[in-house]
Amino acid sequence: MNILITGGSGFLGARLARTLLAQGSLALAGAPAQPIERVVLVDRVAPPADLAADARVQPLLGDLVEQLAAGALPLAEVQAVFHLAAAVSGECEADFDLGMRSNLDATRQLLEGCRRAGHAPVFVFSSSVAVFGDSPEQPLPAVIEDTTLPTPQNSYGIQKFIGEQLVADCTRKGFVQGRNVRLMTVSVRPGRPNGAASSFLSGMLREPLAGERARCPVAPGTAVALSSPGNTVRGIIRASTASAAEWGARTAVNLPALTTTVGEMAQALERVAGKEATALIDWEPDAQIARIITGWPSRFAPKRAQALGLAADESFEAILRDYVRENPQAVKLAVKG
C-alpha cells in the first residue's frame, strides 16, 4: 500500500506518518489490512530526520499547487490520501488570496488529480471546528450535534467548509472515498508559534515550560474545544479505516473534544510546573483573536465519532504531561510528579 500525506513534514503530518509507519499496515475503508510500502510526504520543507531516514518515506518538496499543476504527485500509485496541508486561520484573515490558493485551489486540484487517477483512493480531508461560527443572525447552539449546520464566520472556516463539500461531491461521483474530519484545536503543539488564531493555546503552555514568556490574548474564562496530538491522529487514521457503512453520511464527522477554559489550562500548567510557569503568562487581550476564538463552539456531542470508537482526552493535565514526556528537550522548568 502507498500513502500520500500533504503537509507531511508539518507537526501533524509528521506525527501521522510516524504512527502509520510504526503500525506497518493499514486496513483501508473496512478492507483487510495491507502492509505500508511507501509514504509520500508532500511539503515545502524537508521531513524530520527520522522520517527522511526511513526507506519507506518519499519526500516531495515544493508548493502543492505547483506540484499538482505539473502532475508531480504519484496519485495513480497511492491508495490513500491524507490532505492536511493548509494555510491557517490567522493567515487567511490577513491574506485572502493566500487562503483561497492554499485551502481552496489546492483541495480542488488534488481532488481533480485523484479523479484523473481513476481508482477512487480513500481521501481524508482535515477540516476544522472553524466551520462553525456565532453570529447575531444565527447564534450557535449550546452544544454542537452531528447535524448542526455549519455557519463559518471567517475565511478559513469558509474555505474548509467548501473543501468538505468538494470532497462530498467527489465521493458521490465515485472519484474518491471521502472522509471529512473536523479537527478540534490541537494542543499542545511543539515547536514555534504559527499564524493560527488559536496558536496561543499551545504557546501559553509550551513557552513557559521552556522558561520563556507567553502571551494569552483572551480572558481566562474563555471556553475552548481541544484535542491532544495523539488523539487527533487516532481520529484521522480511524476515518481512513472506517467502512462506508460505518462512516455513513458524506457529511463531516466532528472529532471528540475536551472542553476546558483557558484559565483551567493555566491551572493545569501550575500543577505540572508550579507558579514559576504561570508567572510567565502575560494576559494581554487582543480583540481580533478573541472575536475569532469566542466565535468557535466549545461543546460537542460527537455521536458519529463515538460510534467509531473515538473519545475525548481524559483531562488537559494529562495532555500537558504527555507533552512533557514526549518533548523533554523543550522543557526547562522543573516538573512536579
Per-residue pLDDT of the chain (337 residues; tens, 9 = 90+): 999 999 999 999 999 999 999 999 999 999 999 999 999 999 999 999 999 999 999 999 999 999 999 999 999 999 999 999 999 888 999 999 999 999 999 999 999 999 999 999 999 999 999 999 988 898 999 999 999 999 999 999 999 999 999 999 999 999 999 999 999 999 999 988 776 788 999 999 999 999 999 999 999 999 999 999 999 999 999 999 999 999 999 999 999 999 999 999 999 999 999 999 999 999 999 998 998 888 889 999 999 999 999 999 999 999 999 999 999 999 999 998 7
What DSSP element (H or E) covers 168?
A: helix 155-172
Range of the domain at 75: 2-183+229-254
Asked if the structure places residue 233 within a domain, the reply is: yes
Indicate whether 169 belongs to any domain. Answer: yes
pTM: 0.95
The answer to whether residue 79 is domain-embedded is yes
The verdict on residue 331 lying in a domain is: no
Counting the structural domains of the chain, the total is 1
- Considering the domain boundaries, does residue 328 fall inside one? no
Strand, coil or helix: 41: strand
- Count CB neighbours of 70 within 10 A: 10
Burial of 213 (0-12, 13-18, 19+ CB in 10 A): exposed
Tell me, yes or no, whether 261 lies in a domain.
Answer: no
Instruction: Give Cα separations from 170 to 84, 163, 193, 248, 253 (angstroms).
Output: 18, 11, 34, 16, 17
Catalytic residue among 82, 123, 156, 300: 156
Residue 244 lies in a domain: yes
DSSP state for residue 10 in the 8-state scheme: S
Establish whether 323 is a catalytic residue.
Answer: no
Instruction: Specify which residues 217 forms β-bridges with.
Output: none
Residue 236 lies in a domain: yes
Q: Can you give the CATH number for the domain in which 75 is found?
A: 3.40.50.720
